[in-house]
Amino acid sequence: MTKKRRYSGQQKQPENSKKKNEKGTKNVSKGDGAGDNNNSPDHLSSTLSSALASCNSVLYGDILKDLHNPSDCDKMPKINENVDEPNDPEQNPPVSAMQTMSPTPQTNPPPWVELIVKTMSAIEAKITDLDKKISVVDEQVKKLDRVEKKMNTFDKKISDITSNLNRGFEETGKLIEELQSRSDGMEFGLDKLEEALSKVQLENKRLKDEMVDLKSRSMRDNLLFSNIPETTNETPRDTEKILRDFLKNTVKMDVNIVDNIQFDRVHRIGGSRSPRVIVAKFNQFQQRQLVKEQSKNLRGTNFYINEQYPPEIVAERKELSRIMKRKREEGHNVRLVYNKLYVDNRLYRPDSDAQRNNAAK
């Protein structure tokens, strides 16, 4: 059986080599007395152990640091830790010291190294993916910050607008109250104004009626003669002579009566229409009534003798004349005096007539 022993850094050498080493040692000892101690077996063994430890540290030092379980160090291969020592030098020739110090190179790493490398690669990939996700989250956080700033600005603007609106509502409410108060005062004043206006209107109507009455009184002595021929460059004196001839020849009045008639004034009125109407103002109302009564002699002619009235009364008489004609056709006894119409000796009132018509319908 071959006997194993721990390699101490030196193996048996052949006799020739041993003798040569002894000679070399002697030669060295001659030059330096310390050479005997350096070439001793113990010194060579310690030197070789230090070299092997340095090799192990270089080859496996970084891996040993990353291991979490110290027991994994037992799995690491040891370089020339145990060496089979042959019993027979002939079968196993001795190996030189330089061959013993060279570690045997390994072509394939151990399985646990590949496991660590794969684990580290997976961790690195996950870290890279996590970095990307963190970058995305950071970008989203920045966007959220920008949105938050905009929302804060928007909230501030909304708050300002709300404050302005509330302030505007308050001012509007005060203004409405003030306007309401003024409106109440204006309504009261308007009522007073309407009352005063009604009084003014009544007074105006009264004054207008009085004025129309005064005009009528000033015209009550006047008569209008229509369609009497007009001469060229006719003067008021010529007009009076033409009127007297008209009363004598056309109206057939007594010559002495006509000659005794006293006129305050005789003239023509109207526009460019020819012949214009003659207005005669009588000095005596009885003479004016006498001439008016003789107007019946003009029936069937185109000459007319009418009383003179103010324009307001003329408009009223025009409307009443239309009604008088209709009532006469219906068989009623009608009579028009000034601005009043009498139907069957009763004063005609348009409102009452309209009411009767509606009742009949």
Q: For 64-87, what is each residue's pLDDT tens digit?
A: 444 444 444 444 444 444 444 444
pLDDT at 248 over 50: yes
pLDDT at 282 over 90: yes
Considering the entire predicted model, what is its pTM? 0.44
pLDDT at 19 over 60: no
CA distances from 130 to 119, 139, 140, 145, 193 (A): 16, 14, 15, 22, 89
Asked if 257 and 282 count as a contact pair (C-beta separation under 8 A), the reply is no
Asked if 86 and 2 count as a contact pair (C-beta separation under 8 A), the reply is yes
Asked if 224 and 276 count as a contact pair (C-beta separation under 8 A), the reply is no
- Helix, strand, or coil (residue 159): helix
- Segment 331-360 shows an average pLDDT of 77
Asked if 283 and 291 count as a contact pair (C-beta separation under 8 A), the reply is no
- Helix, strand, or coil (residue 266): strand
pLDDT at 15 over 50: no
Whole-number mean pLDDT of the chain?
Answer: 76
Comparison of pLDDT for 295 and 62, the residue scoring more: 295
What local confidence, expressed as pLDDT, does residue 256 receive? Answer: 94
Lowest mean pLDDT among 25-34, 42-51, 249-258, 311-320: 25-34
- Give me the residue label for tokens 């905009």: 150
**Highest-confidence segment of 70-79, 107-116, 213-222:** 213-222
- Segment 6-19 shows an average pLDDT of 43
Lowest mean pLDDT among 104-108, 196-200, 206-210: 104-108
Residue 165, burial from CB neighbour count under 10 angstroms (0-12, 13-18, 19+): exposed
What local confidence, expressed as pLDDT, does residue 223 receive? Answer: 94
Comparison of pLDDT for 138 and 52, the residue scoring more: 138
Comparison of pLDDT for 275 and 354, the residue scoring more: 275
pLDDT at 257 over 90: yes
Asked if 294 and 252 count as a contact pair (C-beta separation under 8 A), the reply is yes
Which residues are CB-neighbours of 89 under 8 A, at least 6 positions away? 12, 14
Comparison of pLDDT for 50 and 163, the residue scoring more: 163
Lowest mean pLDDT among 41-50, 113-122, 159-168, 295-304: 41-50
Taken in order 151, 152, 157, 159, is the CA torsion positive or negative? positive
CA distances from 51 to 61, 79, 97, 103 (A): 14, 11, 12, 10
d(CA 226, CA 214): 24
pLDDT at 33 over 90: no
